[in-house]
């Protein structure tokens, strides 16, 4: 337990440094964008490649991937039904709210949590791969079908997936692990050094993003939707993952803790990007990202106290 709490302390300490740096403008007004681009396009793919090239594929893709899929799909479907048929929202807004309630921040916070709290970045790989390669594209296809703009062909979706640098880094790492290929140290050493920049840059950028936002404004409306989406993301999603993993698959110990913690990650920031693109569910997406981001780490500490 002390090790788990120490991991959360490290994560929050770097986030707070990012908040301070962002508030004081020490790195300039474009610092957050630069750090995010560095982690997304360079450092995170390197970290994922190195980690997954040494991973046991059965541990990555067997039960954890199934728990990830079941937890996200059930949570998203339940919330979609509530928003569409109880709250009476439009189809695009219901889809966007469902994304807000079930799409986790698998990169910016997921990778640091996996490293510092769970002890291995490979624990977040099933979530990251499932969301980037399947879950997010399925939502975007549904949004395309329910709006008159931004029609996207299946080919364009496929290209979007294979051009994602984290998918590419993960895929190359999995190929190396699956074939038993030993990456030469001359190549692996610079990859290791570049990947080492991922976590501090992610968390500092994350901290910068917390400055200045005020959720649940009265004029914006949708307080009920936002609070429900936040509750589903931080409570219902990890609860579904726990019940399925524990009682359907018989997972226990650290493996159970890992799948529940990754399910309790906050709403992914790219949900708000999608909301901007489709001009649907903007308030719910923005406010749910902020609320779950602030509350997620304390919520995961509660999970740790209950399961370890």
**pLDDT at 149 > cutoff 60:** no
- Where in the chain are the domains? 2-307
Which of 40-54, 60-74, 76-90, 237-251 shows the lowest mean pLDDT across its residues? 40-54
The larger pLDDT score, comparing residue 5 to residue 86, is at 86
- The pLDDT value recorded for residue 248 is 93
Burial class (CB in 10 A: 0-12, 13-18, 19+), 75: buried
Pick the CATH number of 2-307 from 3.30.420.240, 3.40.1160.10, 2.30.40.10, 1.20.1530.20: 1.20.1530.20
**pLDDT at 41 > cutoff 90:** no
Tell me the pLDDT band of 75, cut-offs 50, 70 and 90: very high
Tell me the pLDDT band of 153, cut-offs 50, 70 and 90: low
pTM for this structure?
A: 0.76
What average pLDDT does the segment 71-76 reach? Answer: 95
Cα-only R_g, the chain: 19
pLDDT in tens, 235-248: 999 999 999 999 99
**pLDDT at 61 > cutoff 90:** no
Q: Which region holds residue 279: left if phi is over 0, alpha if psi is between -120 and 50, else beta?
A: left
What average pLDDT does the segment 30-50 reach? Answer: 82
Average pLDDT score over the chain: 82
What average pLDDT does the segment 87-95 reach? Answer: 90
What average pLDDT does the segment 93-97 reach? Answer: 91
Instruction: Using a pLDDT cut of 70, give the percent of the chain over it.
Output: 88
Which residues, 6+ apart, have CB-to-CB distance to 31 below 8 Å? 21, 22, 205, 208
Helix pair 2-24, 198-209: axis angle to 10 deg: 60
pLDDT in tens, 157-202: 677 667 778 778 878 888 888 888 888 889 899 998 998 888 788 7
Q: Find the length of the chain.
A: 308
Dump strand ranges (E) for the chain: none
297 in Cβ contact with 12 (< 8 Å)? yes
pLDDT in tens, 265-304: 988 877 776 777 777 788 888 888 888 888 887 888 888 8
- The pLDDT value recorded for residue 228 is 94
- The pLDDT value recorded for residue 76 is 95
pLDDT in tens, 107-139: 777 888 888 788 887 888 888 878 877 787 778
122 in Cβ contact with 129 (< 8 Å)? no
């Amino acid at each position: 337990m002390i090790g788990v709490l120490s991991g959360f302390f490290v994560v929050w300490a770097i986030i707070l440094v990012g908040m301070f740096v962002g508030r004081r403008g020490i790195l300039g007004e474009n610092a957050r964008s630069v750090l995010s681009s560095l982690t997304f396009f360079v450092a995170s793919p390197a970290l994922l490649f190195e980690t997954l090239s040494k991973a046991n594929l059965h541990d990555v893709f067997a039960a954890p991937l199934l728990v990830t899929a079941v937890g996200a799909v059930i949570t998203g479907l339940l919330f979609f039904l509530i928003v569409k048929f109880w709250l009476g929202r439009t189809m695009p807004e219901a889809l966007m709210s469902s994304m807000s309630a079930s799409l986790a921040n698998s990169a910016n916070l997921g990778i640091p949590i996996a490293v510092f709290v769970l002890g291995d970045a490979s624990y977040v790989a099933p979530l990251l791969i499932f969301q980037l390669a399947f879950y997010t594209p399925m939502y975007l296809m549904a949004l395309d079908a329910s709006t008159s703009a931004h029609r996207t062909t299946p080919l364009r979706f496929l290209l979007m997936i294979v051009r994602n640098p984290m998918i590419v880094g993960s895929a190359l790492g999995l190929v190396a692990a699956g074939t038993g290929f030993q990456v030469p140290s001359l190549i692996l050493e610079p990859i290791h050094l570049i990947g080492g920049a991922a976590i501090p840059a992610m968390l500092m950028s994350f901290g910068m993003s917390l400055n200045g936002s005020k959720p649940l404004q009265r004029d914006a409306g949708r307080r009920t939707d936002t609070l429900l989406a936040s509750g589903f993301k931080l409570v219902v999603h990890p609860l579904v993952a726990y019940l399925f993993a524990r009682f359907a698959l018989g997972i226990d110990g650290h493996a159970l803790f890992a799948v529940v913690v990754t399910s309790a990650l906050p709403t992914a920031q790219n949900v708000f990007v999608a909301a901007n693109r489709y001009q649907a569910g903007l308030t719910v997406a923005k406010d749910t990202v902020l609320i779950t981001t602030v509350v997620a780490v304390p919520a995961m500490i509660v999970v740790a106290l209950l399961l370890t």
